[in-house]
Structure 1
Amino acid sequence: MSGKDRDSFLDFRRNLKMARSPEAYIRGTTKHFYEWLDGRSISIAEGHPVWICGDCHLGNLGAVADCDGEVAVQIRDFDQTVIGNPSHDLIRLGLSLASAARDSDLPGVTTARMLEALIAGYEAASVESQVSTPQLRKPKDIRKLLKRAIHRRWKNLAMEDLQTKHPLLPRNKRLWPLHRAERAAVLALCSDREMEKTVLDPEKFTSDELTILDAAYWIKGCSSLGRLRCAVLVRNGKHGPVSLLDVKEAVPAAAPSASETRMPRDYAERVVAGAKALSPNLGERMVASKVLSKAVFIREIAPQDMKIKIDRLTGNEIQAMAHYLGGVLGHAHGRQMHHQEWRSWILELGRSRKKEPEMPSWLWSSVIELLSIHDKAYLEHCRRFALVHH
């Protein structure tokens, strides 16, 4: 398949995925989210500039393993990370939770209480310690997620991501042959000894016989469809363990950065820096590089890495989830601030609410207005997609 044909198909695939549900549409419209946010008249709170996720929706949080195999719930996607206003992550996560609440047919009062729980969990985050796991009360669904993640092994990862029990990359609807120049560049990149030391677990990969088994173009994600993305299998020795590497193109962030901040100019180095600041479990497993002059970042995908998947929740369950994830986000932001900066930011959040336990007025009005804008845009997207592909 030529580059032009591949791009055309992936554009169709992205539009199809975005048409499947309102939550999928949220995942694929980060650029529009910031355009909508910028077009609103209400001002939002300006927190101390820190590394933010920039695309903090439910699908971008989940179980993440560190290099020692310890698992914690952290942010797991950093394509949009910048040094910016922490309010943007709160609004983005609030919008995603509000959409999930409505998909569960929950009443509007639940959405209000859920946003109150989100901000309460955020404000209660313990940021005194620099450890990667905040001490938060885990909802039932989070406990199940972590239990599953801890017990996952290579065969589980292979079945979910590769649709095979074997250490190979089958060619199917998700894994395509790379173009010749791409394949040569990716294999050369993954053969680099310095990259191996950075990305791969040094305790597991001790042999000098590290072998690249295969590499393929990977159809994965939603907003990233159309960018260069590759799955690479490597083995330690003739019969040693196999690891799956994810090579992903980095692009400019849609999230606005704070003025007078210093970030890496290279897109991949920016992604890695943001990941290390927000989610050390994942950030320490990432490295920036180049493939055919494109900035890419590479990480080993651990079997324990799992996204949060929500089907239908009760009102109490989604409030508990919002409180917990608010704490995860608060810890990710707060661990980058000095104690006084964090306390000042929490006081600012308190000043922007009318009374306890309400959420700040700008958070409520932003989420509700963006939800209505999003609904209209989603239905228009579905109409256009149906007309074109009828």
Structure 2
Amino acid sequence: MPLEHMQTAGVLPRAERRQAGRALRKIVPRSLHGQWAPSPKRRDPVDLLVETGRHRIASLLPIRYDRMRASPFAFFRGAAAIMAADLADTPSSGLWVQACGDCHLANFGVFASPVGNPVFDLNDFDETLPAPFEWDVKRLAASFAIDALSRGLGNTAARQMAAQAMEAYRRHLQDLARQDPLRAWWSHVGVAELLGGIDDARLREREMRRLETAVEAGHQGYPRLVEKSRGLWRIKEKPPLVVPLSSQRDDTHEIVARTAFEAYRLSLPEERRVLLDRYELADVAFKVVGVGSVGTFCAIGLFVTRDDQTLLLQLKEAQASALAPYAGSSLYHNQGQRVVVGQRMMQSQPDPFLGWTQESGNDQHCYVRHFRDSRLSPIGQDLAEEALPYHATLCGIALARAHARSGDAARIAGYLGTGRAFDVAVARFALAYAAQNELDWRLFLEAIKAGQIEARAA
């Protein structure tokens, strides 16, 4: 995405850019980032949720709301639009980056790089857009505070988790600001290295064994997801979450999905088209996706070679970013292109199959990516369950690396400084926003009870 809001790193020497960032503290003191109070004009959170659902598949909204009512953290995951509106009323340093837009701890994880090496990184970019760097870090910090409170760890632990993520972000950004641009650009968080840093020896050894098993299994295709029957390859049916479209009486959605996959091919660079053309589209299925995306159109395409090698690609609808009303609309009319370019900008090892649909006259924008192998994801989930402080550090490091690729790391590092003033302030904000999120969640539960919105399990 064109970074029209950002100051380029090449205008001034690194030391002068760092000093410029330090000077911003006089305009926007770091302590201001600790403040949170709802605006007198703050919209009703339930109304805002309902409004964001108007362009989603209506029959799936009750599933989305059912998932969101499970806990304050589940609600937080689906409430990116609410927090985007709130963040727009908070102090900003004016330092912009390519923002994730929905930066919470569950949107980081372990997955295989294009060459099969496991990496830890951001993995959701549906809301990506250029925005102030503080918006991502505050949402990340709030997610750790909310998660800690949901586990019954108390306010002190919640504040510490948020501060730990911010300290890791600040320290790693300082390190990246000192590196040459090329080295900083290609830096990544390797999973073997990150597991080696776990203090608990039993947990460390167990996760290393699981990593080895998952990586080995990843080379064996998708045995749990696809099957060959009577000479034909098919995606396994798992209703209501995965439903093959080829078996439906009404073939409208199947035609839409197949047409979209064909249109997507045109967005790929020629060498990637050569690779994709070694496979043929054999089957398509509808898929219900995670909390934040339930209600958007999502399909899986099964591609197969003549020698029975399989490839799964995910086609996902892209709507306008939740940040757009406050950070400005994307310069890309095609929202799928916005997501793809943002992911390429932020992720250390982007997916070679990333692309978007380019159908003229169609206002449903989609993007395509390699379908992730879920066998690696429990490793990241277990780190969050059993080594939460370590997970906070990893997320902070990964976010700093992502921001340094698009933003001016020297200016941001100068603004953050080497002390803990920013960490403490954002941790204070995180705890206050966790309380706000709890209030919003309870209003949401009351709306369900009153019949204002419907929630039901899949």
- Give the whole-Å Cα distance in 2 for the aligned partners of 1:67 and 1:368: 38
- Give the whole-Å Cα distance in 1 for the aligned partners of 2:299 and 2:435: 36
Which residue is equivalent to 1:38?
88
Q: 2:188 aligns with which of 126, 133, 141?
A: 133
Q: 1:364 aligns with which of 424, 427, 431?
A: 427
Query: Structure 1 stretch 76-85 or stretch 319-328: which is displaced more?
Result: 319-328
- Give the whole-Å Cα distance in 2 for the aligned partners of 1:385 and 1:36: 23
- Give the whole-Å Cα distance in 1 for the aligned partners of 2:59 and 2:330: 37
1:284 is displaced (CA, Å) by 3.4
Which residue is equivalent to 1:113?
160
SS of 1:223 mapped into structure 2 = helix
CA change 1:104–1:360 in 2 (3 A) is same
1:34 is displaced (CA, Å) by 1.4
- Give the whole-Å Cα distance in 1 for the aligned partners of 2:113 and 2:403: 19
The answer to whether structure 1 residue 385 and structure 2 residue 458 are counterparts is no
Which residue is equivalent to 2:404?
334
CA change 1:50–1:158 in 2 (3 A) is farther
Amino acid of the residue matched to residue 353 of structure 2?
Answer: R
- Whose helix proportion is higher, 1 or 2? 2
Does the 8 Å contact 2:242/2:286 carry over to 1?
yes
CA change 1:205–1:313 in 2 (3 A) is closer
Q: How does 1:1-390 map to 2 (within 5 A)?
A: 7-39=57-89, 42-47=90-95, 49-125=96-172, 126-127=175-176, 128=179, 129=183, 130-134=185-189, 137-138=194-195, 139-140=197-198, 144=208, 146-147=211-212, 149-153=214-218, 157=222, 159=224, 162=225, 168-171=234-237, 172-176=239-243, 178=245, 180-191=251-262, 194=265, 207=278, 210-237=279-306, 239-256=307-324, 263-290=331-358, 292-303=362-373, 306=377, 308-310=380-382, 313=385, 317-337=387-407, 341-350=408-417, 356-357=419-420, 359-388=422-451
Amino acid of the residue matched to residue 94 of structure 1?
Answer: A
- Give the whole-Å Cα distance in 1 for the aligned partners of 2:425 and 2:302: 47
- Give the whole-Å Cα distance in 2 for the aligned partners of 1:155 and 1:273: 30
Does the 8 Å contact 2:267/2:355 carry over to 1?
no
CA change 1:137–1:206 in 2 (3 A) is same
Larger radius of gyration: 2
1:370 is displaced (CA, Å) by 1.6
1:329 is displaced (CA, Å) by 0.6
CA change 1:20–1:55 in 2 (3 A) is same
- Give the whole-Å Cα distance in 1 for the aligned partners of 2:264 and 2:165: 44
**C-alpha offsets along residues 350-377 of structure 1, whole Å, 9 cap, x if unaligned?**
38xxxx4454454134312221111011
- Give the whole-Å Cα distance in 2 for the aligned partners of 1:168 and 1:154: 19
Amino acid of the residue matched to residue 159 of structure 2?
Answer: A
Amino acid of the residue matched to residue 296 of structure 1?
Answer: C
CA change 1:50–1:36 in 2 (3 A) is closer
Please report the TM-score for the alignment, with normalisation by the length of structure 1. 0.81
CA change 1:63–1:242 in 2 (3 A) is same
- Give the whole-Å Cα distance in 2 for the aligned partners of 1:349 and 1:121: 12
Does the 8 Å contact 2:166/2:426 carry over to 1?
no
SS of 1:152 mapped into structure 2 = helix
- Give the whole-Å Cα distance in 1 for the aligned partners of 2:385 and 2:79: 24
CA change 1:22–1:262 in 2 (3 A) is closer
Does the 8 Å contact 2:300/2:313 carry over to 1?
yes
1:345 is displaced (CA, Å) by 0.9
Does the 8 Å contact 2:357/2:365 carry over to 1?
yes
- Give the whole-Å Cα distance in 2 for the aligned partners of 1:265 and 1:78: 17
SS of 2:235 mapped into structure 1 = coil
CA change 1:122–1:311 in 2 (3 A) is closer
CA change 1:45–1:365 in 2 (3 A) is farther
- Give the whole-Å Cα distance in 2 for the aligned partners of 1:199 and 1:58: 36
Amino acid of the residue matched to residue 285 of structure 2?
Answer: A
1:95 is displaced (CA, Å) by 1.2
Does the 8 Å contact 2:264/2:367 carry over to 1?
no
Count how many residue pairs are aligned between Structure 1 and Structure 2. 368
Amino acid of the residue matched to residue 229 of structure 1?
Answer: C
- Give the whole-Å Cα distance in 2 for the aligned partners of 1:175 and 1:384: 29
CA change 1:349–1:147 in 2 (3 A) is farther
Gaps of 5+ in 2: 1-53
Does the 8 Å contact 2:159/2:428 carry over to 1?
no
SS of 1:63 mapped into structure 2 = strand
SS of 1:309 mapped into structure 2 = helix
- Give the whole-Å Cα distance in 2 for the aligned partners of 1:32 and 1:220: 20
What is the percentage of aligned positions where both structures have the same residue? 18
SS of 1:213 mapped into structure 2 = strand
SS of 1:168 mapped into structure 2 = strand
Let me know the Cα RMSD of the aligned residues.
3.4
SS of 2:293 mapped into structure 1 = coil
1:119 is displaced (CA, Å) by 1.7
Does the 8 Å contact 1:52/1:84 carry over to 2?
yes
Does the 8 Å contact 1:83/1:257 carry over to 2?
no
- Give the whole-Å Cα distance in 1 for the aligned partners of 2:213 and 2:433: 34
1:201 is displaced (CA, Å) by 7.3
- Give the whole-Å Cα distance in 1 for the aligned partners of 2:223 and 2:214: 14
Amino acid of the residue matched to residue 294 of structure 1?
Answer: Q
- Give the whole-Å Cα distance in 2 for the aligned partners of 1:302 and 1:234: 15
Does the 8 Å contact 1:84/1:256 carry over to 2?
no
1:58 is displaced (CA, Å) by 1.6
Does the 8 Å contact 1:190/1:196 carry over to 2?
no
Does the 8 Å contact 1:247/1:299 carry over to 2?
yes
